Every structure is written in C-alpha cells, then in structure tokens.
C-alpha cells in the first residue's frame, strides 16, 4: 500500500541544525514495526499541488505551525481536499494539525485552548475501542506538542482518545475511513525533548522543562499506536 504524506510541517528553525527540514518521522516509525508501506510526499508548504483523491490509497495529513484560523493560500484548498477524500472513502489519518483541520473541514470546531500548551508525555483514556484498537489497553501514553484543540467534533466523528487536558484527543469517523490524533506517535523521544527546549520561557520555566524531559523517559505507546494505524490502513500490504 502506498501512503501519501501531506507535508504541512517542517522542523522548527531552532532545530534545523540537528534535523532535516522534513524528517521522515512516519517512515521511521512504520519501519520499526516492519509495516509494508511505500510512500510519496506532497510538500504542501513548498507549493506542491494537492493530488486527486481518487488516485490515492492512503493519506496522512501531518502537523503544522499553522492553525486552522490562519489563512495561507493552501488552507482552503486543503479543506476542500479533505472533504473530497472523505467522500471518496480513501483512508485518511490526521496528526496534530491534521487532526484539527480534518475536524474543521468536516464540520467541527477548533480553537486555541485556554488551557495553554500541551507538551511532552500525555496519557489518554481509550473511551471507545475502534476495531483497529480492540487489543489496546485502557490508557495509552503519547508525546504531545500543541496549543490548539478540537473543542467540538464533527457530527460524523466519535472521540476514542480523551484526557482531562484534551477531551477530544482522538477521533474516528462513521465512514470507517478517517481517523485522527492530537498527539504525535511519530515523534522520536529525543526529537520531542528537543521540541521542549524551544519552549523554555514560552511557556516552560527551567524547572518545568527539566520535569517534562524526565517525564518523556517514561514508556510511550508509539509502536502500539503504529500497529493500530497499520490496521486502520488495512494491514499495510
């Protein structure tokens, strides 16, 4: 199966000396569990045209420094693309901003949260068990980095991951062909720690930074989530 990655994310400038501009996070995550995917990447931020949904096998919309309330020239075409993908029943996964823009495009509400930043190690309750997560534990841990949140999911969506901080941390859609996560299972642990560094004094104090980094050494369920995503996409074959 070929996954089409929509790159609306790039490494923050402060980290560009240590990482590629567009790190292959998903390729490396799926390689860990030996998922049999091939990949193509659409560099939306660089002006690549969005593909025809009918020509695609599976889609991942990645995170971004932008919010759904911003207005770069690619934002409205991306909303239209999401609606076409949903109507075409092409499997679609959204991560962080991808989670938010999918909800926004399909009738939900997304806002900058008055709870502030969600950073580092987060625990989410599995409030609903989609077929691809039947064997998952009741609580999973993932790395997060966001200010915005889905405040009201679309009518066609069901929340399956939730926390007190992020009540709609994971959505599945009634079509069975769309899902999204607020967290970042694709981020390597060290990359998540480096992201924390650029939040020093915005909003983290030095003590909070240290504590957040220590917490990221606790177990994360990235590979468990990767297996669930492979099942969502139909096995990865």
Please give the span between the terminal C-alpha atoms of the chain, in angstroms, as a whole number: 5
User: What pLDDT sits at residue 174?
Assistant: 96
Cα gap 50→83, rounded to integer Å: 13
Would you say 221 and 185 are in contact if contact means Cβ atoms under 8 Å apart? yes
Q: Is residue 140 part of a domain?
A: yes
User: What pLDDT sits at residue 133?
Assistant: 95
Q: Is residue 43 part of a domain?
A: yes
Residue 134 sits in a domain of what CATH number?
A: 3.40.50.880
Q: Is residue 204 part of a domain?
A: no
CA distances 32 to 92, 100, 178, Å, are 21, 27, 23
User: What pLDDT sits at residue 237?
Assistant: 40
Q: Is residue 176 part of a domain?
A: yes
What size, in residues, is the chain?
237
Cα gap 156→153, rounded to integer Å: 8
User: What pLDDT sits at residue 155?
Assistant: 97
Q: Is residue 196 part of a domain?
A: no
Q: Dihedrals φ, ψ of 143, to 5°?
A: -90, 140
User: What pLDDT sits at residue 235?
Assistant: 66
CA distances 150 to 98, 114, 159, 181, Å, are 11, 12, 10, 10
Q: Is residue 207 part of a domain?
A: no
pLDDT mean for each 10 residues of the chain (237 residues): 96 92 96 96 96 95 96 97 97 98 98 95 97 94 97 98 98 97 97 95 94 96 98 77
User: What pLDDT sits at residue 195?
Assistant: 95
What is the domain range of residue 7?
A: 2-188+220-232
Cα gap 220→226, rounded to integer Å: 12
Count of domains for the chain: 1
Q: What is the pTM of this model?
A: 0.95
Q: Is residue 180 part of a domain?
A: yes
User: What pLDDT sits at residue 116?
Assistant: 93
User: What pLDDT sits at residue 110?
Assistant: 98
């Amino acid at each position: 199966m070929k996954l089409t990655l929509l790159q609306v994310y790039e490494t923050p400038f402060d980290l560009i000396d240590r990482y590629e501009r567009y790190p292959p996070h998903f390729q490396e995550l799926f390689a860990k569990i030996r998922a049999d995917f091939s990949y193509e990447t659409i560099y939306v931020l660089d002006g690549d045209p969005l593909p025809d949904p009918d020509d695609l096998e599976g889609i991942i919309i990645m995170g971004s420094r932008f919010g759904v309330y911003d207005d770069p020239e690619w934002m409205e075409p991306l909303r239209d693309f999401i609606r076409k993908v949903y109507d075409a029943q092409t499997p679609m996964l959204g991560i962080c901003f991808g989670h938010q823009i999918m909800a926004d495009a399909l009738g939900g509400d997304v806002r900058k949260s008055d709870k502030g930043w969600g950073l580092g190690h987060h625990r989410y309750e599995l409030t609903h068990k989609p077929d691809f997560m039947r064997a998952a534990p009741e609580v999973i841990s993932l790395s997060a980095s966001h200010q915005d949140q889905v405040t009201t999911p679309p009518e066609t969506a069901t929340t399956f991951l939730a926390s007190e901080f992020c009540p709609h941390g994971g959505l599945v859609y009634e079509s069975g062909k769309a899902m999204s996560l607020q967290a970042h299972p694709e981020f390597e642990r060290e990359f998540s720690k480096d992201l924390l560094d650029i939040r020093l004094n915005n909003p983290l104090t030095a003590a909070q930074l240290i504590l957040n980094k220590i917490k990221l050494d606790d177990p994360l369920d990235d590979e468990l989530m990767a297996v669930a995503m492979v099942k969502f996409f139909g096995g990865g074959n």
